[in-house]
């Protein structure tokens, strides 16, 4: 098996967009310290940035917020190409908007090499670089190692299949029951709630959140489950951390990828990758157990019926 595809993953192309020539040069010098990343173009304004991005189709864009009388956000509205975005700005009051466009990271000027290294690590990870590197470095350059690299890229899909099977095995013998109890009736309330159209959140995206007085990026893939708390919601992360943020369940359901995230109750969304087991409960409902979460979550019979139809 050829290793061409695997080797090509080791260099990620990027474009720098900044109206300050010195800032572009400095960032370019810093990026040269990371051989896995190659700067394939620079731009000082939106027009030239669009041309360069269209021509080079980079894996990432390092983007300044202030571009003369324009802003980096305007550029993103015009881009038709899906690249990871790293904001680079002298201001930190724009960071919250990064949440809405799912920026990979937000760097504060002047950019420090140590901080940039963390961003590069995230960029490589989001493009599968670390996974391929860790596997190929163990081998002797033979076809077996190449095959293992290919197999590793299928691990994600295998985990999702397992999560679906666990849920489906639990509900497949349960007939459709359209009779609504009180809990199911309540579930209707938020289904007609209007949600402004926003960009879908991909599984390898990051969210910018503020919790406990600290702003940070979290991986979508690290979210194990989400529970409702009025207009807020709790997000449970791998490692046992739990954060309360201002975001309703209906918005989560609208934006999260259904390949991984399913709603099992009006107050609960779970990540299929972390479903450990499902047990029948009373009144045709179920208990869904999430890895490393002590208390199970209820899956109502109405949502169980929906999932049964979905997994047919």
Examine residue 171 and state whether it is found in any structural domain, yes or no.
yes
pLDDT at 256 over 50: yes
Peptide bond into 110 cis (omega under 30): yes
Q: Per DSSP, what are the bridge partners of residue 261?
A: 271
Give yes or no: residues 91 and 192 share one domain: no
pLDDT at 162: 64
Give yes or no: residues 230 and 268 share one domain: yes
CB count, 10 Å around CB of 175? 8
Give yes or no: residues 44 and 121 share one domain: yes
Per-residue pLDDT tens over the stretch 63-110: 998 888 888 888 888 887 778 899 998 877 666 665 566 788 888 888
Examine residue 85 and state whether it is found in any structural domain, yes or no.
yes
Examine residue 117 and state whether it is found in any structural domain, yes or no.
yes
Give yes or no: residues 170 and 96 share one domain: no
Q: What is the mean pLDDT of residues 184-206?
A: 57
Give yes or no: residues 131 and 159 share one domain: no
Examine residue 140 and state whether it is found in any structural domain, yes or no.
no
| Count of structural domains within the chain | 2
Are 64 and 20 in contact by the 8 Å Cβ rule? The answer is yes
Examine residue 145 and state whether it is found in any structural domain, yes or no.
no
Per-residue pLDDT tens over the stretch 4-17: 443 445 689 999 99
306 vs 206, residue with greater confidence:
206
Per-residue pLDDT tens over the stretch 274-298: 988 888 877 677 889 998 888 889 8
pLDDT at 178: 44
Most confident of 197-206, 212-221, 294-303: 294-303
| Cα 54 to Cα 74: distance, rounded to the nearest angstrom | 16
Q: Per DSSP, what are the bridge partners of residue 39?
A: 14
pLDDT at 190: 45
Give the CA angle between residues 301, 267, 199 to the nearest 5°: 110
Give yes or no: residues 238 and 105 share one domain: no
Give yes or no: residues 192 and 95 share one domain: no
Q: What are phi and psi for residue 136, nearest 5 degrees?
A: -70, -30
pLDDT at 224: 95
Per-residue pLDDT tens over the stretch 235-249: 999 988 898 888 889
CATH number of the domain at 229, please: 2.40.50.1020
The closest of 210, 229, 300 to 262, measured between CA atoms, is 300
Examine residue 99 and state whether it is found in any structural domain, yes or no.
yes
- Picking from 92, 107, 135, the residue at the C-terminal end of a domain is 135
pLDDT at 172: 64
Q: In angstroms, what CA-CA distances link 117 with 59, 60, 88, 106, 114?
A: 17, 15, 14, 13, 5
pLDDT at 208: 83
Examine residue 274 and state whether it is found in any structural domain, yes or no.
yes
Q: What are phi and psi for residue 54, nearest 5 degrees?
A: -65, -35
pLDDT at 165: 67
Residue with token string 């099977």? 165
Examine residue 260 and state whether it is found in any structural domain, yes or no.
yes
Residue with token string 């999430």? 290
250 vs 210, residue with greater confidence:
250
CA 172 to chain centre: 30
Look up the domain containing 37 and give its range. Answer: 4-135
CATH number of the domain at 95, please: 3.40.50.2300
Q: For the chain, what is the mean pLDDT?
A: 76
Are 143 and 1 in contact by the 8 Å Cβ rule? The answer is yes
Give yes or no: residues 83 and 230 share one domain: no
pLDDT at 60 over 90: yes
Q: What are phi and psi for residue 189, nearest 5 degrees?
A: -60, -40
- Picking from 81, 104, 135, the residue at the C-terminal end of a domain is 135
Per-residue pLDDT tens over the stretch 111-155: 888 889 888 988 888 877 644 333 333 344 444 444 333 333 444
Give yes or no: residues 159 and 126 share one domain: no
91 vs 311, residue with greater confidence:
91
Give yes or no: residues 171 and 304 share one domain: yes
Q: Where residue 312 falls among pLDDT bands split at 50, 70, 90?
A: low
| Cα 199 to Cα 293: distance, rounded to the nearest angstrom | 29
| Cα 278 to Cα 271: distance, rounded to the nearest angstrom | 13
Give yes or no: residues 187 and 282 share one domain: yes
- Picking from 103, 135, 167, the residue at the C-terminal end of a domain is 135
Q: In angstroms, what CA-CA distances link 162 with 48, 119, 219, 272, 275?
A: 46, 32, 21, 8, 9
pLDDT at 175 over 70: no
pLDDT at 197: 46
The alpha helices in the chain, defined as continuous H runs, are: 4-8, 21-31, 46-56, 72-78, 95-101, 113-126, 129-136, 143-152, 155-171, 182-187, 249-255, 301-310
| Cα 110 to Cα 190: distance, rounded to the nearest angstrom | 45
Residue with token string 């309330």? 189
Give yes or no: residues 186 and 302 share one domain: yes
Q: What is the pTM of this model?
A: 0.49
């Amino acid at each position: 098996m050829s290793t061409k595809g695997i080797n090509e993953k080791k260099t990620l192309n990027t474009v720098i967009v900044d109206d300050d020539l010195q800032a572009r040069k400095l960032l370019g010098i810093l990026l040269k310290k990371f051989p896995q990343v190659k700067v394939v173009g620079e731009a000082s304004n939106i027009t030239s940035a669009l041309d360069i991005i269209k021509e080079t189709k980079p894996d990432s864009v390092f983007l300044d917020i202030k571009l003369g009388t324009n802003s980096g956000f305007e550029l993103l509205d015009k881009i038709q190409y899906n690249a990871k975005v790293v904001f680079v700005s002298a201001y930190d009051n724009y960071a919250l908007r990064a949440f809405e466009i799912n920026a990979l990271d937000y760097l504060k000027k002047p950019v420090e090499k140590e901080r940039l290294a963390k961003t590069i690590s995230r960029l490589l990870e989001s493009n599968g670089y670390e996974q391929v590197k860790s596997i190929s470095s163990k081998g002797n350059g033979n076809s077996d190692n190449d095959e293992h690299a290919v197999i590793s890229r299928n691990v994600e899909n295998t985990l999702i299949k397992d999560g679906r099977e666990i849920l489906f095995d639990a509900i497949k013998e349960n007939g459709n029951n359209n009779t609504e109890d009180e809990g199911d009736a309540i579930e209707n309330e938020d289904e007609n709630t209007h949600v402004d159209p926003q960009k879908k959140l991909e599984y390898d995206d990051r969210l910018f959140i503020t919790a406990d007085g600290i702003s940070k990026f979290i991986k979508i893939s690290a979210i194990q489950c989400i529970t409702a708390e009025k207009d807020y919601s709790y997000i449970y992360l791998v490692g046992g951390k739990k954060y309360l943020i201002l975001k309703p369940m209906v918005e989560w359901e609208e934006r999260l990828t259904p390949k991984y995230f399913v709603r099992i109750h009006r107050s609960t969304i779970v990540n299929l990758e972390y479903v450990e087991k499902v047990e029948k409960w009373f009144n045709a409902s179920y208990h869904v157990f999430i890895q490393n979460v002590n208390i199970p979550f209820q899956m109502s019979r109405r949502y169980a019926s929906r999932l049964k139809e979905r997994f047919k």
